[in-house]
Structure 1
Amino acid sequence: MSRLILAAHLPAYGLQCLAYAVNDGQKMIAVAGVAIEVARQGPGGVGPVGLTPGWMALLVMVFLAGAMTSLPGVGARLGRGLVLARPLHLVSAGTAAAGAVLGSSALGGPVSMTQSVAAGIVGAAAGEGSRRVRWQGVLTIATAWLLTLPAAWSARS
């Protein structure tokens, strides 16, 4: 089973990185574009922002490096804090989170990759019984979601 899980983990992780880039990549491009224009023109002169293909390629490489190095740590921290995770849980959660994020992004409603991974990990572990879940950690995250998501939605309106 461990070879099968490892074989499944690699494409699941690649799919997760793709979902992260699709969902969060535009934020990095916007921030970098504004920073480049501020450096060129000063804080008062920023108008329409355009990035050259060279800058875009550099941003893609930096974003990819960040995704490849940070996603395993996020998954491990979430796994330890929320559930008694097994490797199969992490593969299942990563695949489910990537699918949810890609689907919501395709519909124009980007979501948090971290929240999707957390929900996937809890769901995968809870499938084996509620005792595998550390409910205090889940409650902490759920409380944060209940406070921040409506605040973000109301700020959008």
Structure 2
Amino acid sequence: MDVLITVTLVIVVALVFDFTNGFHDTANAMATSVATGALKPKVAVLISAVLNLVGAFISTEVAKTVSNGIIKEGPGGVDITPVMIFAGLVGAVLWNLTTWYLGLPSSSTHALFGGLIGAAVIGAGVGSVDFGVVLSKIVVPAVVSPLVAGSVALVATFAAYRMTRNARARGSERGFRYGQTVSASLVSLAHGTNDAQKTMGVITLTLIAAGYQGSGTGPSLWVILACGLAIGLGTYVGGWRIMKTVGKNITDVQSPQGFAAETASAATILISSHLGFALSTTQVTSGSVIGAGLGKRLAIVHWGVVGRIATGWVVTLPAAALVGGVAAFIASTSTVGLVVVAVLAVAGGVTFYTLARRKPISAADVAGSSTAPAASDAALAGEVR
């Protein structure tokens, strides 16, 4: 198949991934604000979509990590081909759709990197991946960032309830809700600076691999704009399934907790974006919500839900790598193989969409006050006094 056609196909699939990243990660910014009633669902996703687009233009450090760091470059250029990148994206998109259907806030970041790593290993060998960069800028931030964000949210929530006498002081609840409008907006802006850049990096890597762009260069303006629009549009669609999990099922989120969680998330993501760390914004926000739950009652977190989320975190990268590797093996055989992978990817997407339509979750299911399910851990919970 002509290289230009393959590159075009990769760019299209990359933007599809960016779109799925948008609706998959809407919950990162707006779940707690919607759950506490600080923002209406449709207003929340509109604000988030616009700020995701704006955030895409703020920095390109993460994009450079993706395009120039993970895949090794040699004298003749990168060792990965557009076909392999296409296969990796297929793995990432299918995993995103799987976890979206399950309402599981897994990492789109790790799905993307897992897919690319699996495809690169199968197509170009283990030596094509710089595992030092993977460890320092992906794995380590994945472990540390949710702990840092969760700790900050825990302390901030504890302090907020202390200062406002468990949020019962006159006007305090309303004040925190107004504050959530700002803090949730900051998370959306931060999300754009981190997650939109990952797709920019993939497209840039494809253009370098195909010889359309010089080795070591950053994303072009049209790439930044296209990725910003794709993730913004996906965000506006609204990932209600995952938003329900983050906003209602992890802990019974109230406005002071939501404000603390969102502020901790925004700070962690923005600092990491500046340093070029391609961290998982999903893990950061989930860690913040857990910390906020602990900060209020010291134990009122539904650990069964947290366990499911943690399992998803652990499984995401290897699962996407497996799908990406298999897709690379098939797509690299011939043009027919490439077409087969494309058809299977479309069929998978249609299947998940059809299944989701049978048990729809809408904005109405996540709006208003949080109603987290009862858990046996709640019996051990004690109000901060």
TM-score, normalisation: structure 2: 0.32
Deviation, 1:72, is 7.7
Separation in 2 of the partners of 1:146 and 1:51? 30
Deviation, 1:55, is 5.3
Residue 108 of structure 2 corresponds to which residue in structure 1?
Answer: none
Conservation of the 8 A alpha-carbon contact between 1:126 and 1:133: yes
Residue 143 of structure 1 corresponds to which residue in structure 2?
Answer: 311
Deviation, 1:31, is 4.6
Determine if the alignment matches structure 1 residue 122 to structure 2 residue 293. Answer: no
Q: Name which of 178, 188, 196 aligns with 1:25.
A: 196
Structure 1 residues 54 and 108 mapped into 2: Cα distance closer, same or farther (>3 Å)?
closer
Structure 1 residues 100 and 74 mapped into 2: Cα distance closer, same or farther (>3 Å)?
farther
Where do 5+ consecutive residues of structure 2 fail to align?
1-171, 320-385
Structure 1 residues 108 and 32 mapped into 2: Cα distance closer, same or farther (>3 Å)?
closer
What RMSD over aligned residues (CA atoms) do the two structures have, in Å? 3.4
Deviation, 1:142, is 2.6
Deviation, 1:146, is 4.3
Q: Name which of 208, 211, 217 aligns with 1:47.
A: 211
Q: Name which of 223, 227, 240 aligns with 1:59.
A: 227
Structure 1 residues 77 and 122 mapped into 2: Cα distance closer, same or farther (>3 Å)?
same
Residue 184 of structure 2 corresponds to which residue in structure 1?
Answer: 13
Whichever residue aligns with residue 264 of structure 2, its letter is A
Separation in 1 of the partners of 2:256 and 2:239? 16
Rg larger in structure: 2
Runs of 4+ in 1 over 6 A off after TM superposition: none
Conservation of the 8 A alpha-carbon contact between 2:198 and 2:278: no
Residue 42 of structure 1 corresponds to which residue in structure 2?
Answer: none
Q: Name which of 85, 92, 99 aligns with 2:267.
A: 99
Separation in 1 of the partners of 2:228 and 2:315? 32
Normalized per residue, the structure richer in helix is 1
Determine if the alignment matches structure 1 residue 87 to structure 2 residue 255. Answer: yes
Residue 133 of structure 1 corresponds to which residue in structure 2?
Answer: 301
Separation in 2 of the partners of 1:82 and 1:2? 21
Residue 155 of structure 1 corresponds to which residue in structure 2?
Answer: none
Whichever residue aligns with residue 182 of structure 2, its letter is P
Conservation of the 8 A alpha-carbon contact between 2:265 and 2:285: yes
Deviation, 1:116, is 0.7
**Could you tell me the percent identity over the aligned residues?**
27
Larger RCO, structure (CA 8 Å, separation 6 or more): 2
Where do 5+ consecutive residues of structure 1 fail to align?
38-44, 153-157
Whichever residue aligns with residue 47 of structure 1, its letter is G
Whichever residue aligns with residue 21 of structure 1, its letter is G
TM-score, normalisation: structure 1: 0.70
